Structure 1
Amino acid sequence: MYILKLGSRFSSQKSYDYLYGINPVMSALYANKRQFTQLYVNQTQQNDYINPRISNILNRAQSLKLDVQMIPKNKLERYCSNDHHQNVILKCSKLNYCNQLSDESNFVLLDSVQDPQNFGAILRVCFFLGINTVIVEKKGQCPLSPTVSKTSAGALELMNIFETDNLATFVKQRKHEFQVIGSGFESNSVQN
């Protein structure tokens, strides 16, 4: 993202994201929750050997009529401040929070998770456990960023992330609708 590192607090000021890595890009293309501008692929992927997963990404991009540019690795690294791009980067709109909760039986509430790698790891575990909705508070929460998507192994793209003004109020208003199980840092803080 220009000169800024992905996952930087300032990256949220841009109107688009550069998703990087096979799983985040593949998940984004299949979830279709974003608007896609361009797919960048390392030009070595068009020669004799092509990673089958990148081939799947290229096929999906073609079905979406997405512009694909085969570029050298050093140009890929201009869009991604690290070498974890796995030869593929997707320029796309920012991911929006979902604006309605469905009748999910299970979801997770997160309070003030500020580190994008922790947020992504939590989303990855939630997705693995079959939880596809996570509720966060607007204030103090890490933004939905390419770093979160990468760390979540693409789970962010497939999940519903709902944002509320105040988690405590949210829980109080809805506690009659579902069972609330909470935990915290103190040994006696687990409550049912």
Structure 2
Amino acid sequence: MLLYGRNPVLEAIADGRVAEVLVARGVEESFIRELKELDVLVRFTSRIEMDQMVGTTQHQGVVAEVEDLKWASVDDIFERAESRGEPLLIVLLDGITDPRNFGAIIRSAEVLGAHGVVVEERRSAPLSPVVAKTAAGAVAYLPVAQTKNLPRFIDALKEDNVWVYGAAGEAAQDIGRTDFSGKLALVIGAEGEGLRRLVREKCDVLVKIPTSGRVQSLNASVAAGILLYEATRNRARSEQ
């Protein structure tokens, strides 16, 4: 797989998955020196050739060939929470098929302290270079797993005393008045469609992000970031 973008490539190098990096001519010398200090072979090409190679101009002048990104297991997520001595915080995605939204949610989840992301196998964007680029390297640190059936997975979480909150614009409960302490899962639906009926029904509580503008809906990745921030802030406050 061709990985592009500076943060994703640097993370892959640090993870030992890159031996050679392709750099566009004209990239600043300071970045080239940084690459060489990481003990990787640097080859140069034109930006036009690089554009054609990866099918986009958004590569930031660097491309590396790495093994395909691999899905983690759900157990990896539980082990991450246990090793940190923290109550589980997991993000469930219901129908997020846009790779940029997927990558941005992974990035927010890693930055804001979630223990992992879970998607349904047939209702998700794949782990692709676009996802890795948008996630800015977060896929190297955060377990991202698949489940065959999201509603059944939610049932299993609830049996383990995980409280499940679904994001819904029409919900009555405001996230600012929600107790996010304890083990919890945050469920984010597809843009436009929102949560599927069965997924919605499986949630313990539906919550909303209060808005005041004329546009009443948020981008899925923005909504996920706000919900994650409020959950982690609430949990930190409850521990004081």
Q: Per the shorter chain, which TM-score range?
A: 0.7 to 0.9
In structure 2, distance between residues paired with 1:86 and 1:188: 41
The letter for the 1-side match of 2:154 is: V
Distance of aligned partners of 1:129 and 1:79 in 2 relative to their CA distance in 1, 3 Å threshold: same
1:78 to 40, 52, 62: 52
Distance of aligned partners of 1:189 and 1:141 in 2 relative to their CA distance in 1, 3 Å threshold: farther
**Residues 113-168 of structure 1: per-residue CA shift (max 9 Å, x gap):** 10011111111211120124111110111000111111122212322111111111
Q: CA deviation at 1:180?
A: 2.2
1:50 to 11, 22, 29: 29
Distance of aligned partners of 1:189 and 1:112 in 2 relative to their CA distance in 1, 3 Å threshold: farther
How high is the sequence identity, in percent, across the aligned residues? 28
Contact 2:119 2:150 in 1 (8 A): yes
In the superposition, the TM-score normalised over structure 2's length comes to: 0.62
Matches within 5 A, 1:161-180: 161-180=144-163
2:64 match? 90
Contact 1:43 1:72 in 2 (8 A): yes
Q: CA deviation at 1:93?
A: 1.4
Q: Which has the higher contact order (CA 8 A, sep 6+)?
A: 1
Contact 1:27 1:158 in 2 (8 A): no
Q: CA deviation at 1:97?
A: 0.3
Distance of aligned partners of 1:115 and 1:59 in 2 relative to their CA distance in 1, 3 Å threshold: same
Contact 1:31 1:158 in 2 (8 A): no
In structure 1, distance between residues paired with 2:4 and 2:115: 22
The letter for the 1-side match of 2:23 is: V
Contact 2:13 2:19 in 1 (8 A): no
1:40 to 4, 22, 33: 22
Note the residue ranges of structure 2 that are not aligned, 5 or more in a row.
82-87, 174-203, 206-240
Secondary structure in 1 matching 2:136: coil
Contact 1:132 1:158 in 2 (8 A): no
The letter for the 2-side match of 1:50 is: E
Q: CA deviation at 1:67?
A: 4.1
Larger Rg: 2
The letter for the 1-side match of 2:11 is: S
Asked whether 1:25 is paired with 2:3, we answer no
**Residues 31-69 of structure 1: per-residue CA shift (max 9 Å, x gap):** 34xx44642112334xxx5134x4333332x2xxx5432
Secondary structure in 2 matching 1:96: coil
Aligned residues: 166
2:136 match? 153
The letter for the 2-side match of 1:183 is: G
In structure 1, distance between residues paired with 2:160 and 2:15: 29
